[in-house]
Amino acid sequence: MIDLRIAPMGRARVWLQALPDCSYTANEVLERKVPVVGTAQASARRAAIEAFAPRGAYCPYGLLGAEFVPDLSGAMTIQVMISTGNLDVLQGVIPGTITDTVRRGLPSEYADSVFDGAIQGNLDAPLGSGVLQFNCAAHGEAGSSRRVFRQLSEVVTRLVGIDPSSVTMEQLLSLIDHKV
Amino acid sequence: MYESGGNLVHVYGQYSVGKASGEDLARAAVDCGGSVANAAMMVDGVGEVEEAGKLGEEGVDCLEEGGGADAPAPSLGILEGKSATVSQKGLDIVKAHLAQFGSFPENEAMIARLQAAMEAGERVSGADLSFYMHELAESTLMKGGMVYEDAHEAALAKYDVSRFSVYHPDVIAANPASFGDVWRNAWGLSR
């Protein structure tokens, strides 16, 4: 896990080739297929980001992670695991999120935003043929929004495509800063 | 520590006692009739937090009863049913405070609402008042060295307001991507 300060008073935590303990029961798995662009990754990849970005009267927050498994299907499949009902409060979040109540899971209201962000991220840095599954998420009752999850999804998709052995802190910051 | 009750004097008193300067008082942002003297009275008169309610009753009339209410609405705490005028000083403080976070349409829209009310000579209430008071308190606390997260919570607690009360429903409706359904539900807005 990499802890980052993001402008202008925000924080982010990034996981590369790992996911935080943020499992939840999915009530539904939504799926979209998009045209394949680029060459598939050679191996499975996973990544997640948790971000908190104060704006004064409220504090955008979200945690999102995904796993990409390449295949030879010739299609890029995006899956989003949706959770409903009374979700568990997540402990151990970014300290700044004391300003919010953070719960495990991804409410359905953010599903389209996750798809939109993933599609954009895949256009910017194609993952190729395979399944990109968003199966790790937490949301703030006050701080999460469609914008937050669209941006996180785009970043996660880019992070999944990064080779964790060669990425620099500067690359991570440029990917994340001003995105959340 | 963040007990509610009383009115504005309590709000400022909590962090001004013992160290309020003339400049601090001049920066007291709610227009209590337009005089710094009145603002000074607010702070000087506090002494102890326990006295705040009493002192508020005695003469601090920044927040008037009878402010308009947006219904349904999240809790406005001690700002419920109150209204206040927006001062240029107060608005400048709010603008400068929010500028450090960057420019965001939801904040710009709230500032525009305050600006419009000030220019029209109208008092603000409801979400406009909650936003205004929240940002003033948060600004002062952060200038005093408190980190954002603590200042944000303290500002909410100071007025005992819901965290969903600080943006006007029109602003929430106009910026749907920035607010989750919880915000819309709190204000009775449809998605």
The minimal CB distance from A59 to the residues B100, B102, B152 is found for: B152
Task: Pick the residue from chain A with its C-alpha nearest to B149.
Answer: A96
Share of chain B above pLDDT 90, in %: 59
Tell me, what's the pLDDT at A114? 98
Least confident of A149-158, B1-10, B64-73: B1-10
Tell me, what's the pLDDT at A23? 82
pLDDT for A21-47, tens place per residue?
A: 888 889 999 999 998 876 777 789 999
The minimal CB distance from A55 to the residues B101, B149, B164 is found for: B101
Tell me, what's the pLDDT at B191? 73
Give the torsion through C-alpha atoms of B119, B122, B125, B126, to 10 deg: -70
Q: Do A146 and B181 touch (CB under 8 A)?
A: no
The residues spanned by each domain of chain A are 2-162
**Which residues in chain A have their CB less than 8 angstroms from residue B149's CB?**
54, 59, 95-96, 98-99
Quote the CA–CA distance of B116 and B132 in Å, as a whole number: 13
Coil, strand or helix: which one is B128?
A: helix
Tell me, what's the pLDDT at A10? 87
Structural contact between residues B87 and B123, judged by C-beta atoms closer than 8 angstroms: no
Tell me, what's the pLDDT at B65? 66
Least confident of B59-63, B152-156, B176-180: B59-63
pLDDT for A111-124, tens place per residue?
A: 999 999 999 999 88
Residue A65: φ, ψ to 5°? -140, 155
Residue B128 — pLDDT band, cuts 50, 70, 90? very high
Tell me, what's the pLDDT at A85? 74
Report which of residues B66 and B153 the model is more confident about.
Answer: B153
**Which residues in chain B have their CB less than 8 angstroms from residue A54's CB?**
101, 148-149, 152
Instruction: Please report the number of interchain residue pairs, chain A to chain B, with beta-carbon separation below 8 angstroms.
Output: 74
Residue B104: φ, ψ to 5°? -135, 140
Q: Is residue B47 in some structural domain? A: yes
Quote the CA–CA distance of B50 and A42 in Å, as a whole number: 67
Tell me, what's the pLDDT at B47? 23
User: Considering the entire predicted model, what is its pTM?
Assistant: 0.81
User: CB of A35 within 8 Å of any CB in chain B?
Assistant: no
- Is 70 exceeded by the pLDDT of residue A137? yes
What does pLDDT average to over chain A? 89
Q: What is the CATH number of domain A2-162?
A: 3.30.230.10
Residue A43: φ, ψ to 5°? -140, 170
Structural contact between residues B2 and B154, judged by C-beta atoms closer than 8 angstroms: yes
The minimal CB distance from A9 to the residues B135, B148, B178 is found for: B148
Report which of residues A7 and A21 the model is more confident about.
Answer: A21
Cross-strand partners of A45: A68
Tell me, what's the pLDDT at A95? 60
Tell me, what's the pLDDT at B96? 97
pLDDT for B19-73, tens place per residue?
A: 333 333 333 434 343 333 233 223 222 222 222 233 232 222 356 666 555 467 8
Q: Do B100 and A8 touch (CB under 8 A)?
A: yes
Residue A105 — pLDDT band, cuts 50, 70, 90? very high
Q: How many domains does chain B have?
A: 1
Report which of residues B50 and B158 the model is more confident about.
Answer: B158
**Which residues in chain A have their CB less than 8 angstroms from residue B98's CB?**
55-56
Q: Which domain holds residue B32?
A: 8-187
- Is 50 exceeded by the pLDDT of residue A125? yes
Task: Compute the average pLDDT of residues A120-131.
Answer: 91
Tell me, what's the pLDDT at B34? 35
Quote the CA–CA distance of A144 and B179 in Å, as a whole number: 7
**Which residues in chain A have their CB less than 8 angstroms from residue B179's CB?**
145
Residue B141 — pLDDT band, cuts 50, 70, 90? very high
Q: Is residue B46 in some structural domain? A: yes
Tell me, what's the pLDDT at A97? 60
User: CB of B159 within 8 Å of any CB in chain A?
Assistant: no
Q: Do B148 and A96 touch (CB under 8 A)?
A: yes
> Going by C-beta distance under 8 Å and a sequence separation of 6 or more, which residues neighbour residue A148?
A51, A60, A61, A62, A110, A113, A180
Tell me, what's the pLDDT at B64? 64
Q: Do A58 and B167 touch (CB under 8 A)?
A: yes
Q: Is residue B182 in some structural domain? A: yes
- Is 50 exceeded by the pLDDT of residue B12? no
Tell me, what's the pLDDT at B44? 27
Task: Pick the residue from chain B with its C-alpha nearest to A53.
Answer: B101
- Is 90 exceeded by the pLDDT of residue B97? yes
Sheet of B124-125, strand order: B64-65, B82-84, B124-125
ipTM: 0.89
List the 68-127 stretch of A: residues with Cβ below 8 A of B: 95-96, 98-100, 107, 109-110, 113
User: CB of B105 within 8 Å of any CB in chain A?
Assistant: no
DSSP code string of chain A: -EEEEETTTEEEEEEES---S-----SEEEEEEE---SPPPSS-EEEEEEEE---SS---EEEEEEEEEE-SSS-EEEEEEE--SSPPBPPS--GGGGGS-EEES--GGGHHHHHHHHHHHHHHS---SEEEEEEEEEEETTT--HHHHHHHHHHHHHHHTS-TTT--HHHHHHHHTTT-
